[in-house]
Chain A
């Protein structure tokens, strides 16, 4: 059965890494729901968090193909292991004078931040797990949601263990 699975890839920060990964998904027809790439604590290493919609065999193939890329150092599947998950959403909602207080109340319930207040709108920010964000957007619907932008999901193991193992094999010959 296909279900969303979070995969974290630790990659070297080298030209084309993201393009190689994106190309892998398109040419092997894997189903990609979201992707996020950012630097880790080690500047030359990036963490790329992918959410894929695949069955178990599909997830295994995705992981092996990712790992096969020379610039990918480690690949870890998080779900179904317990993990903390966060996504960021920015939402622009209608907030004319009479409605503004109610929008703020709703935002407070979700501990959302107000980023901008305009003449007719408010722009709110919330970081949460995907279900929480869905609830938040639903709660704002009655006010009139004008625009929504969500980031990809990022995730770490919910335990004392680190998601990635420490680097074991030394440094690449080719320095950039």
Chain B
């Protein structure tokens, strides 16, 4: 460590001295040089035989490498880093099992449009196709789970490939890009030519503004509507639309519902915010979708968890769909108007031309929504309900975290019941403040993503809301958190069960519980301590607040709070699979 530190502080290696001047470099040096050119100062990874030249080159440069304890952890950390910061996350692994262990992380990022560049070592060119030691076709594996990928066969191509990869990852609809480099290509030296030319992708254009006539069409739809609704997805966060979205809804008073990925685009308790729609969405939000006569979808993709039964989704509404990815328009739901454009640009263009005087009176529409909200308030479930010993109310814990963690906190969830409770109750106030695996639903995502988020935002409080099942899928990253003194509060909703699966068996499988019992869970507090972190068992509702205060105030490493829940606690409301959004079960009546 000392020698590595020394090298970092030493003057830049010879390769960096002649900026822009052609010189001979190894492929591995070109990889690192390219990362530096992209402004990367932190990468997550795990070394191995086929990537060793790049790890060697790392020692000569100032880029910080975080050694994870599993390649999947590296991919999720790069993801959490990217989501929290808006920058491209970088992860690195060796060939074969290193590359296959990245797969889940890349698929997770792809489904949620997160920019990642993943670099994998590959066996030497001469061994490719021979089933060599630790050989797996990382390039081929990447096709269905990345935005794009490269197999680099020539050393001199590395700088251009790296530049193009970062460009593709972060532009348009962002996504992960994989670069697979055989070991000999890393080792060979070639003439280094800085890629000064701009990236060109012939035939592709990155959507920005909408055309004027499209804006006029959208405005016409808005002016005609008596019961308009905005349906906002993760695209609003990616495009940085929050600020203009807020101005738009405050000027028009059009109510807004967001998807799981769109949480934070508008503050949870903004007067125009109806919260989340979909399978576990608020009843009033789902009814608003069903009753609306105009739906403006912004950067959302009509996922089945959002729409429920498609022929009942927004069946009274004219639908305008704005998305940067034209392939999303008309994919799941037939829309009346499709606009390929950036969500923020479209809102800004609308604001330039909007004539408030032409808007209809939404008074009756607001009154109707408020009546639904009053009848079935999501909040009422939580008010005054704290639970009992070893049966703490998960809603209460989420609201307490929301109260104590502060508006600047980054909340990361894993996948399952706790994720939905967090989505329903956490008072998210800002974009990039709520990170969750929405599309792929990857258990094990939360903890490494939280570590990545803390690296991206060291000054923010980072809280993982996790479950006992998912946490055990990447529990090894406790070491990564401890050794890097990463303060993440791990709020573990421990119900000794695979809760969401159990809930479905409870509701839809005649309470036939199959393989959902986790009563043999380890003592998570001791586990955290064994890794070098701290922890606290929380049995009683009265302990929730002091325990959270202790964990939030702690510094210098992870702090695990094991909240004891009862496994009969279910997430409501729920729209059963195949039902319409207006056919929810539960909801606080």
Residues of A participating in the B interface, judged by any CB pair closer than 8 Å: 10, 12, 15-16, 19-20, 23, 27, 57, 60-61, 64-65, 67-68, 70, 72-74, 167-176
Contact = CB atoms under 8 A, between A and B. Distances in A.
Contacts of B157: 174-176
B575 to A, nearest CB: 25
B195 interface: yes
A173 B200 contact: yes
A61 B151 contact: no
Given A168-B202, A172-B201, A19 B164 contact: no
Given A64-B327, A67-B203, 14 more contacts: A16-B139, A19-B140, A27-B144, A60-B330, A61-B330, A170-B200, A172-B164, A172-B200, A173-B160, A173-B164, A173-B200, A174-B150, A174-B160, A174-B164
A20 B149 CA distance: 10
A11 to B, nearest CB: 9
B168 interface: yes
B161 interface: yes
B202 A170 contact: yes
Nearest to B165: A174
Given A70-B147, A175-B160, A169 B203 contact: yes
Contacts of B164: 172-174
Nearest to B205: A169
Nearest to B327: A64
Contacts of A67: 203, 326-327
B395 interface: no
Contacts of A169: 200-205
12 contacts: A19-B140, A23-B144, A61-B330, A61-B331, A68-B325, A70-B201, A73-B202, A167-B202, A168-B202, A169-B201, A169-B202, A173-B160
Contacts of A20: 143
Contacts of A173: 160, 163-164, 195, 197-200
Interface residues of B, number: 33
A171 B200 contact: yes
Given A16-B151, A169-B203, A68 B163 contact: no
A79 to B, nearest CB: 20
A64 B204 CA distance: 12
A175 to B, nearest CB: 7
Given A173-B160, A174-B164, A175-B157, A16 B143 contact: yes
A174 B166 CA distance: 13
Contacts of B153: 15
B312 interface: no
B148 interface: yes
A10 to B, nearest CB: 7
A67 to B, nearest CB: 8
A46 to B, nearest CB: 13
Interface string B267-301: 00000000000000000000000000000000000
Contacts of A61: 327, 330-331
Interface in B319-335: 325-327, 329-331, 334
Contacts of B149: 16
Interface in B235-268: none
Nearest to A12: B202
B203 A74 contact: yes
Given A57-B330, A61-B330, A172 B143 contact: no
Contacts of A176: 157
Given A70-B168, A174-B164, A65 B202 contact: no
B151 A72 contact: no
A60 B328 CA distance: 11
Interface in B168-214: 168, 195, 197-205
A70 B164 CA distance: 11
* CB-based closest 6 A-B pairs: A73-B203, A64-B327, A169-B202, A70-B148, A174-B160, A173-B160
Contact of B203 (A23, A72, A171, A175): A72
A68 B329 CA distance: 13
A67 B203 CA distance: 8
Given A19-B143, A169-B202, A174 B325 contact: no
A22 to B, nearest CB: 9
A168 B144 CA distance: 28
A99 to B, nearest CB: 48
A168 to B, nearest CB: 7
Contact of A65 (B143, B150, B160, B327): B327
Contacts of A72: 203
B161 A174 contact: yes
A10 B204 CA distance: 12
Contacts of B160: 173-175
Contacts of A64: 326-327, 329, 331
A65 B163 CA distance: 24
A155 B199 CA distance: 32
A19 B326 CA distance: 22
